[in-house]
Amino acid sequence: MQRRVLIIGGGFAGVQAAKVLGNQKGLDVTLLTPHPQLEYHGALYRTVTGRSPLEVVLPFHEIFTEQPSLTVVNDFMVELRPHVHEVRGESGRVYPYDDLLLCLGYEIAYFGIPGMQEHSETVYTIFDSLRLRNRLRDTFLSHAGREVKISIVGAGPSGVEVAGDLGTFAGLVAERYDKQPAKPVVTLVERAPRVLPMFSEEASWLAGERLGALGVELKLTTAVNACHLHHLTVNETEKLPADIVIWTAGSRASSFFEKHPALFSLDQRKKVEVSEFLQANDEDTYVLGDAASTQFSGMAQTAIYDGTFVAENLIRRAKGEAMLPYQPKPPVYVVPIGPDWAVAQEGDKVVSGEAGWAVRREADLMVLRTFLPEEKAQLHWKQGLETAKF
Ligand X SMILES: Cc1cc2nc3c(=O)[nH]c(=O)nc-3n(C[C@H](O)[C@H](O)[C@H](O)COP(=O)(O)OP(=O)(O)OC[C@H]3O[C@@H](n4cnc5c(N)ncnc54)[C@H](O)[C@@H]3O)c2cc1C
Going by the DSSP 8-state scheme, the letter that residue 51 receives in this structure is B
**Which of these, 14, 55, 18, lies nearest to 387 by C-alpha position?**
55
Query: What pairing do the DSSP bridges indicate for beta strands 251-253 and 279-280?
Result: unpaired
- Contact between 289 and ligand X per CB under 6 A: yes
Q: How many other C-beta atoms are found inside a 10 Å radius of the C-beta of residue 71?
A: 13
Q: How far apart are CA 163 and CA 216, in angstroms?
A: 7
- Contact between 32 and ligand X per CB under 6 A: yes
Q: Which of 303, 311, 343, 359 binds ligand X (CB under 6 A)?
A: 303
- Contact between 165 and ligand X per CB under 6 A: no
List Cα–Cα distances, 345 to 7, 174, 268, 304, 367, in angstroms.
32, 35, 26, 19, 17
236 φψ region: left (φ > 0), alpha (ψ -120 to 50), beta (else): left
- Contact between 76 and ligand X per CB under 6 A: yes
Write out the binding residues for ligand X, residues 80-99 only, by CB under 6 A: none
- Contact between 10 and ligand X per CB under 6 A: yes
DSSP 208-268: HHHHHHTTPEEE-S--EEEE-SSEEEETTTEEEE-SEEEE-S-EEE-TTTTT-TTT--B-T
Q: Which of 58, 186, 207, 299 binds ligand X (CB under 6 A)?
A: 299
Of 233 and 254, nearer to ligand X (C-beta) is 254
Of 179 and 252, nearer to ligand X (C-beta) is 252
Of 133 and 143, nearer to ligand X (C-beta) is 133
Angle of the 354-371 helix axis to the 374-383 helix axis, nearest 10:
140
CB contact set of 125 (below 8 Å; sequence gap of 6+): 39, 44
Q: Which of 3, 35, 135, 191 binds ligand X (CB under 6 A)?
A: 35
**Which of these, 20, 41, 13, 65, lies nearest to 373 by C-alpha position?**
65
**Least distance (Å) from ligand X to the CB of residue 259?**
11
Q: Which of 254, 293, 313, 352 binds ligand X (CB under 6 A)?
A: 254
Interacting span for ligand X (CB under 6 A) from 58-66, 207-215, 234-242, 298-306:
298-306
- Contact between 189 and ligand X per CB under 6 A: no
Of 233 and 301, nearer to ligand X (C-beta) is 301
Write out the binding residues for ligand X, residues 124-143 only, by CB under 6 A: 124
- Contact between 336 and ligand X per CB under 6 A: no
- Contact between 72 and ligand X per CB under 6 A: no
The site for ligand X (CB under 6 A) is made up of: 8-14, 32-35, 41-42, 44, 76-77, 103-106, 123-124, 157-158, 254, 256, 289-290, 298-301, 303, 331
